[in-house]
Structures are given as C-alpha cells and as structure tokens.
Amino acid sequence: VLVLVHAESIIQGAFKPTAPHDLRLLEATAIGLAEHNIDHRRQLVLMLDAVRFFYLVGRPVIGLNIAERAQLFADELADPNLLSSALSHVGICAADTGDLPKAMEAYALALTLSVSENNECQECKIWQNLGSALNYSGLFNEAILCFEKAIKIAENNNQLSNIIPIAYSAIALASLNLSNISHGLNAIKLAIGLANEPADIHSLQNRVLVENYYTRLLIENDEYAEAAEHAAFARRYASLSKSPRSDITASVAEGLADVFFRYARRWHYAAHHNIRARQIV
C-alpha cells in the first residue's frame, strides 16, 4: 500500500502547475507500478495518469512507452475495460508521435472492447480521441463525424459533460482547416461557453488550444483586434500551465495575431493616406 501512496504522490503531484518535474523519476515510478500485485485497477489508473502528463508536457514518446506497458499489464489482468483505456492512451501518444497506423489500430480495438462491454464513458472518449487522430491525418470531415458522435453520447450522460467543450473545440479546428470559418466560430464559442475555468495542467492546456483556434479563426474572419485579445488569453493560460507544449501553442497564436494586426494597421494607414492624396489632387 505504501508503494501506491508514494507513486500517487509523485504522479498526481506532477499535475500541479507549480510542481517541479523530475521526469526520470516519474517515468520509472509509472513503469514500476506494473511490477506490483496490490490494487491492479489503481495501479493502472496511475500509470495512465502518468501517460497523460507526459503527453501534456510534450513528451509523447515517453508516454507511449508507459502506455504500451500499461496495455500489457491490462491484458495480463484480462479486464476488457482496463485494456480499452490503456489502448486509448496508446492511440493518443502514437498519434502525437506521428505513428497514425498504430494509433488507428489501438483505437479500433479499444472501441470494439468498449462497445462490447457497454462502457459508454470509454466509448465517448475513444470517439473523441479517434477524431483527434483523424484531424492529425487531415481527414477533417471524418474527424467532425467522430466529434459529433462523442457529443451525442456525452449529452445524455452527466459524467461526460466535460467532453462536450473539448469536442466543440476540435470541431472548430477541423472547420478552420476546411475553411468553414462561420462553422468554426460557432463551435469555438460553444466550447468556451460550456467549459469551466481551467484549474489544472490538463484543463489549462485545453484552454490554450481553444484560444489558439479562436485566434486563427478570427484572423481568417479579418477580426484582427479580437484575434490579438484571444492570443493574449492563450499566453495567460500557458503561463499558468508552465507546459512547453502550451508555451509553443500560445506563441503561435501571438505571432499570427501580431503579424496580422500590424498588417491591418498598415493597410488602414495606407488606405487613409491614399484617400487624402486623392482629395488633395
């Protein structure tokens, strides 16, 4: 039991924005959990928490290593629900490393298991993650169908309400890539309206992504001042999360907003002086 308590303090503590991160210790702790025979479910949940952490801080290769060990552990336990969850985490990290075939294979098996076990919560999360993988691969229309499926399930289950704003933000990204800006703006407004104020590294990173998408959609809609405002929001949340991934995401939003805001000011300045010149002539 003390092993689990110690592991929990290390892994759960890593999610606190102010916590120092000893990545080697965290990885070793997560991998080591598979070697014990104490509380299998709790052990696996902690391993998958570590996977999420490494994904959030931009270390998906380490996350994938832990997720694949968790998959083997869950398979040994012969628990379909735990195996489905482990496979879903394999898919998340595999997609982020660019190994889309591995991600799709993991999601397909995870989805089959969740449906066979009538595990609606797991099924909803897999649809969401599968949609994200399709977004990675440029299959934006197919991705939107997955997100809509996740929303439909979540709307009928209070335990899944936190999935809905995430799915809408993903629809916004897909719509941005499809140049369907009005659809994207509607989706991103729903995402922000339905989300709670972020309080941990996971929700902070999600909010940074949302503000990044909002910034880019507004730029496409020629709303440059508003885009700059949301880029500033992205930076604020990234600073709170202290995540390298969030920092990069916020920097992209800031850079784009700054370039286009300056461009708009110069264009208006040039247009104004051109009109004055014509009036003088």
Residue boundaries of the structural domains of the chain: 1-118
Residue in this structure with the two tokens 């309080």, named with its chain if needed:
199
- CA distances to 104, 145, 154, 181 from 151, rounded to whole Å, are 20, 10, 5, 20
Q: How far apart are CA 171 and CA 135, in angstroms?
A: 9
Residue in this structure with the two tokens 């449906």, named with its chain if needed:
115
Residue in this structure with the two tokens 């700059």, named with its chain if needed:
228
Q: Tokens for 95, please give them.
A: 């997609």
- CA distances to 133, 220, 228, 230 from 213, rounded to whole Å, are 17, 11, 12, 9
Residues in the chain with pLDDT values less than 70 = 1, 17-20, 264-281
Contacts of 113 (CB under 8 A, 6+ apart): 80, 81, 83, 84, 87, 119, 122
- Give, for 242, the enclosing helix (H) or strand (E): none
pTM, to two decimals: 0.82
Q: How far apart are CA 79 and CA 110, in angstroms?
A: 12
Answer for the pair 146, 128: CB distance below 8 angstroms, yes or no: yes
Q: How many Cβ atoms sit within 10 Å of the Cβ of residue 245?
A: 20
Residue in this structure with the two tokens 């997560």, named with its chain if needed:
30
pLDDT for 237 equals: 96
The highest-level CATH class for domain 1-118 is mainly alpha
pLDDT for 271 equals: 46
pLDDT for 29 equals: 93
Q: How far apart are CA 231 and CA 254, in angstroms?
A: 5
pLDDT for 252 equals: 96
pLDDT for 276 equals: 47
- CA distances to 60, 99, 178, 189, 242 from 13, rounded to whole Å, are 19, 30, 39, 32, 14
Answer for the pair 46, 10: CB distance below 8 angstroms, yes or no: no
Question: Would you say the C-alpha torsion 75, 59, 205, 137 has a positive or negative sign?
Answer: negative
pLDDT for 241 equals: 87
Tell me: the pLDDT tens digits for 212-241?
999 999 999 999 999 999 999 999 999 998
